Chains A and B, each alone.
Chain A
């Protein structure tokens, strides 16, 4: 097809310019047709299950039922306004921010620590790596059900071990000041081992010769970490941060199993709020509006971080 192009070119120039553009477009389309055809099966399913659903959410967010028996009417941006003024939603956003920072930072720090400690491969580190990775293999729902019993006041495993050191035994999941942190502990426990894998992979990429040179120059362990290892791990950090943030918004299994957002909305996260609007309030309009807002925030965040990543890789 590309061989035929020069011959066709003079004819095209003599014709109207827009025809030229059209022709080039058709040619390019022809060239990429097999690619599109190959993509077609997955496109069909993406459209059915991803883009179609997103489109549906967009439409649903614009409509509202005023009363149970009234027909659905066009509401414009009313649903979005209602969500933004709902104190339960703003509360969930604040909770989610606390939760995101409070789970991402410790789990990444722990993951880095584990990876540095276990970067050399031998029988002991392999066993420890496996042990640290184990929580990743347990489904979140099962883990939450287990922690429900670990957190039982007075009779749970946690109070059994640390109860005698505390002045009063806290109601871990029933106290609105503590519940969110109890939930965060599970997330950290579950995700640190997963992020460790990325850091282990990142550490393999640290050039051996640079490390040796630094060693010969008399750089201590801290200097090597500060000036060689951490800069080399920057892309890994960025990637893991994105993953951790996405997890903070998309994982609510433990909230569902352990607290249902309670007590008094203390552990309510954005995704659980959406669930409540959709199924408890039976308010599809408001649920869709909240979904749209969340999607927009997530897409913005992802775009921003991937651009930063691309810049860094281009510059590096």
Chain B
């Protein structure tokens, strides 16, 4: 009897627990949607996102959006995939623009064409709002899968005070690799063998490293990957060899760049503290630099060796596959609101990303802001030469094969040529299943 009484108690507790798990409270009222958002750069993006979503909810009483912070770009992909697998995808996600192709190949994206058509607009009209450089990462097989939300390009940041100290004119920033090398040499300070001030720092951590390699390769005339087809990358090419060799030369030959692989936040901290006189970093870090630099700084285009060209970065809004129709509609309302000229402009000012919606730059607040902060214009001007961000089948592992080899080079373990041969081989191996199904599937 003693047993049974305890047993009953135990079963009762277990039963309550099971009940609580099985029957969550049934919600009524506004359509509740989740928005997954990453914070990939320096600054206070999470707080700004809270402000934005609060404003949306106040203006749309029949929708209740919740912003869910999901870590870095890579983490956001992981969490989105996990939630799709679990059958509970979020209604919208701010997804790194170069993951869209991979997700589309895996059937994880909602085609946005019907939603655009339901609004009575054409695809061309809809896409026409955004800078042309951004469309490459949003349109797959002529269908729209993403709406550009915040975008970036890499920039050259210069500590103007240090430049003047070294007898350089910060109003005429370096335009070519040769000039940049020269500047970096003049800006490097040494005490014996020890470097107390680096001429330039370029970030290299997983994700950033691939983007910087694409940047350097593009300014050297190269392409990095096949923009039309997700099964090819161009690692073992003269343009990339030149890019990696130059980066390696900055480290080992000229000794003006810190050795090893340095992640983005370490590079920006180094720049802010005056330890690195120049850096290449995303426009997304511009607001952080503006708020924290205790010196005059200058931003400029990424210098060229062959041509001026940069990849875009940043993120698009997507709707994951497997979402209810009413939530899809609510998500679409949220997406259109967030990418409208006013909100786009506000977000751009808050973060430093450029606003993908061209009309954002005609809003009075933005015109005034640009007059006050002419440095924000540089990123927009550089858009003229911007191209899509690399996107392939299994983008992350394909990118990692290159990054691992680049890190070996920057650590003095490998020569650029053998590193790129190894990276190409590993990438081809990863891309093999996709090619087997597409380019090598013959009648």
Contact = CB atoms under 8 A, between A and B. Distances in A.
A168 B14 CA distance: 61
Nearest to A154: B275
Interface stretch (B178-186, B265-273, B298-306): B265-273
Contacts of A37: 3, 7
Nearest to B413: A176
Interface stretch (B62-70, B152-160, B334-342, B391-399): B391-399
Given A37-B7, A44-B14, A155 B270 contact: yes
B338 to A, nearest CB: 27
A38 B404 contact: no
Interface residues of A, number: 38
A167 B193 contact: yes
Contact of A153 (B258, B411, B413): B258
Nearest to B272: A155
Contacts of B261: 171, 174, 262-264
A41 B78 contact: no
A174 B286 CA distance: 24
B391 to A, nearest CB: 14
Given A67-B436, A70-B437, A34 B3 contact: yes
A168 B259 CA distance: 11
A74 B80 CA distance: 27
Contact of A154 (B77, B270, B434): B270
Contact of A264 (B405, B433, B434): B405
Contact of B433 (A68, A167, A175): A68
A262 B400 CA distance: 10
Given A70-B437, A169-B194, A176-B413, A262 B206 contact: yes
Contacts of B394: 281-282
Contacts of A66: 433, 436
A260 B105 CA distance: 26
A258 to B, nearest CB: 9
Contacts of A40: 10-11, 14
Contact of B411 (A69, A263, A282): A263
Contacts of A217: none
A265 interface: yes
B237 interface: no
Given A153-B266, A171-B261, A38 B10 contact: yes
Contacts of B437: 67-70
A7 interface: no
Given A68-B105, A280-B400, A262 B407 contact: yes
Nearest to B435: A67
B403 interface: yes
A155 B259 CA distance: 15
A44 B206 CA distance: 41
Nearest to A268: B404
A264 B402 CA distance: 10
Contacts of A280: 74, 396-397, 400
Nearest to A68: B105
A279 B76 CA distance: 11
A282 B81 contact: yes
B13 interface: yes
25 contacts: A40-B11, A67-B434, A68-B106, A152-B270, A167-B194, A169-B195, A171-B259, A171-B262, A174-B258, A174-B411, A175-B260, A176-B260, A176-B407, A177-B411, A261-B206, A262-B205, A262-B206, A262-B261, A262-B407, A263-B261, A263-B404, A263-B411, A264-B408, A279-B78, A281-B397
Given A261-B206, A264-B405, 10 more contacts: A38-B6, A40-B14, A66-B433, A68-B437, A70-B437, A154-B273, A171-B258, A263-B404, A280-B397, A280-B400
6 A-B pairs with the lowest CB-CB distances in the bound complex, closest first: A174-B260, A171-B260, A263-B407, A41-B14, A263-B261, A174-B261
Interface of B: 3, 6-7, 10-11, 13-14, 74, 77-78, 81, 105-106, 193-196, 198, 204-206, 258-263, 265-266, 269-270, 273, 275, 393-394, 396-397, 400, 403-405, 407-408, 410-411, 413, 430, 433-434, 436-437
